[in-house]
Amino acid sequence: MEYFLTYLKVFAVGGAICCLGQLLINKTKMSSARILVTFMLLGVILEVSGAFSYLKEFASAGVTVPIVGFGSNLAKGALEGASEEGLLGAVKGGMSAVSAGLTSVIVFGFVFALLFKSKSKKI
Amino acid sequence: MNMLSKQEYVDFVKEKSPKSPMWRSMLAAFFVGGLICCVGEGVSDLLKLIFPAMTEEDVATWTTVVMIFAGSFLTAIGVYDKLGHFAGGGSIIPITGFANSVVSPAVEYNREGVFFGVCAKMFVIAGPIIVFGIVASVIVGIIGLFL
Amino acid sequence: MKAGKQSFYVDNPVYIRSAYTIVGPKEGESNFDGCFDLVLKNDLWGEKSFEKAESKMHREAIRGAVCLAGLNFDEIDMMLAGDLLNEISASSLAMRYFQVPFVGLYNACSTFSESILLGSALIDAGCARTVTCSTSSHFASAERQYRYPLELGNQRTPTSQWTVTGAGCTVLTANRPTREEDKRARESFEEKLTAMRTENMSNGVCGSEKEQEKGSEEANGKKIKHSNISEGAAKSAKTPFSFRKKEDDRVAPQCDKFYERTRLAKITGGTFGKVVDLGIEDESNMGGAMAPAAADTFFAHLEDTKSSPSDYDAIFTGDLGRFGKEAFEYILSKEGIKLCGTYTDCGASYFKPEQKTFQGGSGAGCVNTVFNGYILKKLENGTLRKVLVLATGALLNKDTPLQKETIPGISHAFVVETEDF
């Protein structure tokens, strides 16, 4: 039951974020890159304002899987770096916090691009 | 062509051009987005089960890596674009959508070779996300210095 | 002879000798199923990239049309060709295989009518006896050039159109073909095409052996296609193809190479269009951007030739799409012109609703394959006598919308009439 409730919360919050994104797409005809940037910056703002940790506690993967989580990681890393190492930490903190994700995206992209070719589509 | 003013025509086009089906697309985005987030939660639960010694932060990082792998793989085999056609925002906003925006140009441009095809074109779409992200993190970090 | 400001009549007859079309699999299942000479099973056509495939389609369309005309390449005086790729590379690369003067054209999706107009003018003026007019477009290569990578999971907006994967070629000539010539050319077509392929290969110009195998495979596929033609027609007759339940969008596709030709089509004139820009910014709404240009050329044509819409059995616009068609009719109604029943948009009627193309087809191959595959056959079997074709094009590249430019449109119109064969 507890599991079910967690997953329900994850589903609802994650779905709501995506739904908001779709609303933006429908209303403003934004391209996918603009949508991703908007939501990442939203994550940065949520992290700085401190709201993100509450959301994360409530819906864990519901907010960390959307790109909002990526933004919050960036901001969190930068803030931690700033408090621990000063200016240098402020500069490199954000990148080091998301380095695993970024590296894996680049590596997987490279490997798959060597193995696969794009296919034409019919819909 | 004298009877129609420019403004009149622009207004006509704005009013009459077909709009996205609002409810259907938002519902699709909600379901698919929610499902992808649930998969993410499932992955992190599974990781916790298999590696009980792992710290919370490591679990989160590994979950991201696994999700990115899934997104990249589905993009490479040509499934993610069909999902995206159905779900729109539901498959763009999760981290898998970010992986899709990196892997899709890389796969698309491999016909131009590895150097100027795959590597150079990889960030055609995801470039702004990384640039905005890094700039924002530095700004936040500098603000953090004064807190 | 010049007529009015933008139009001209042809003084010496310019005949349409033959036409040949090649389309992709999706187009083969469209409303025009059964109209095309060759339907590909895979739009990569054994090539390494979609651009190469487009070039091959272009090349084979020209070759097919020339063979169907019963001509050799040394009898062709000039080739007018264009496509949508950067620096019209699909046409230029295809032209490597022909030892014929080549004139490259670009007017976006209206390149086809531009090539027909220029070809007729050249023949009329006596600069050439026989010319080929060809264009091509490919969904995958256009998508990558103008929009996003194929695998990107974004949603296309409801105003977007689907670039038609297709290439077509029309052979225009000053010599009036006879029935016997025509029959002979059509009967020896397969043989000649195979011979031409082999010949090119022995010269070392054309591809590898593998290609020949593929070519013959396709030829076999085509034979099967032709034997199934009645079946295909019956199948498509059952499907109700109506968009928004409008009658005038209907087409009845049933044509093969030996269709009855009782009439001979000829180009009798045309109107060159101006660039018209009414300030549409959305690059995914090209129908809206092109409709004013089509209307402008249409008005100019009516004024210059002192004709009225009722003089034509049918009026076709190129690829305005469903919304563009609506906009075109709106602009016309503002000027007090109503086209009832005779007006069709090639793009809007191209695909079936279940093929999910939103506004319908677009691209340089759209109006080309519809004209060569469908309209021409209707003209030649006597269903239509006088037709006006307004191909339309949106003149943009990937950067102009980013630089906040609006999208200009262009449209060229040509008139086809028939005489007894």
CA separation for the pair C286, C318 (Å, rounded): 12
Span of A58-67, B80-89, C69-78, C194-203 with lowest mean pLDDT: C194-203
pLDDT digits (tens, 9 = 90+) for A39-87: 999 999 999 999 999 999 998 888 999 999 999 999 999 999 999 988 9
Nearest-neighbour CA in chain C from B144: distance (Å): 35
The reply to whether B104 falls in a domain is yes
Domain region containing B101: 31-146
Q: What is the mean predicted confidence (pLDDT) over C329-335? A: 91
pLDDT of C410 above 90: yes
Question: Do C328 and C304 touch, CB atoms closer than 8 A?
Answer: no
pLDDT of C238 above 90: no
With an 8 Å Cβ cutoff, are B101 and A23 in contact? no
The reply to whether B18 falls in a domain is no
Sorted by sequence, the CB contacts under 8 Å of residue B48 that are 6+ apart come out as B54, B59
The reply to whether B40 falls in a domain is yes
CA separation for the pair B136, B120 (Å, rounded): 24
Sorted by sequence, the CB contacts under 8 Å of residue C25 that are 6+ apart come out as A122, C39, C40, C41, C42, C43
Is the ipTM above a cut-off of 0.85?
yes
Q: What is the mean predicted confidence (pLDDT) over A25-48? A: 91
Q: What is the mean predicted confidence (pLDDT) over B36-52? A: 93
- Domain total in chain B: 1
Chosen from A22, A34, A45 to mutate, greatest number of chain B CBs within 10 A: A22
pLDDT of C183 above 50: yes
DSSP code, position C172 = E
The reply to whether B113 falls in a domain is yes
With an 8 Å Cβ cutoff, are C327 and B111 in contact? no
Span of B130-139, C121-130, C354-363 with lowest mean pLDDT: C354-363
Q: Give the whole-number percent of chain A exceeding pLDDT 70.
A: 99
For A71, A97, C90, the CA distances from A38, given in Å and listed in that order, are 10, 20, 38
pLDDT digits (tens, 9 = 90+) for C102-111: 999 999 999 9
Two structure tokens written together for A91: 């500069």
* Residue C212 pLDDT: 44
Nearest-neighbour CA in chain C from B89: distance (Å): 8
Q: Which chains touch B (3 or more CB pairs under 8 A)?
A: A, C
pLDDT of C224 above 60: no
First vs last C-alpha separation in chain C:
25
Q: What is the mean predicted confidence (pLDDT) over C45-50? A: 87
Chosen from C55, C145, C150, C155 to mutate, greatest number of chain B CBs within 10 A: C155
Q: Of the candidates A32, A119, A120, which has its C-beta nearest C154's C-beta? A: A32
With an 8 Å Cβ cutoff, are C149 and A120 in contact? no
Q: Give the whole-number percent of chain A exceeding pLDDT 90.
A: 72
pLDDT band at A121 (very low <50, low <70, confident <90, very high): confident
CA separation for the pair C45, C299 (Å, rounded): 42
The reply to whether B16 falls in a domain is no
pLDDT band at B1 (very low <50, low <70, confident <90, very high): low
DSSP code, position C284 = T
* % helix, strand, coil for chain A, step of 5: 85, 0, 15
Which residues does residue C394 pair with via DSSP β-bridges, in sequence order?
C409
The reply to whether B62 falls in a domain is yes
Q: Which chains touch C (3 or more CB pairs under 8 A)?
A: A, B
With an 8 Å Cβ cutoff, are C140 and A120 in contact? yes
Return the higher-pLDDT residue of C215 and C258: C258
CA separation for the pair C366, C112 (Å, rounded): 9
The reply to whether B9 falls in a domain is no
Q: What is the mean predicted confidence (pLDDT) over C208-237? A: 41
The reply to whether B12 falls in a domain is no
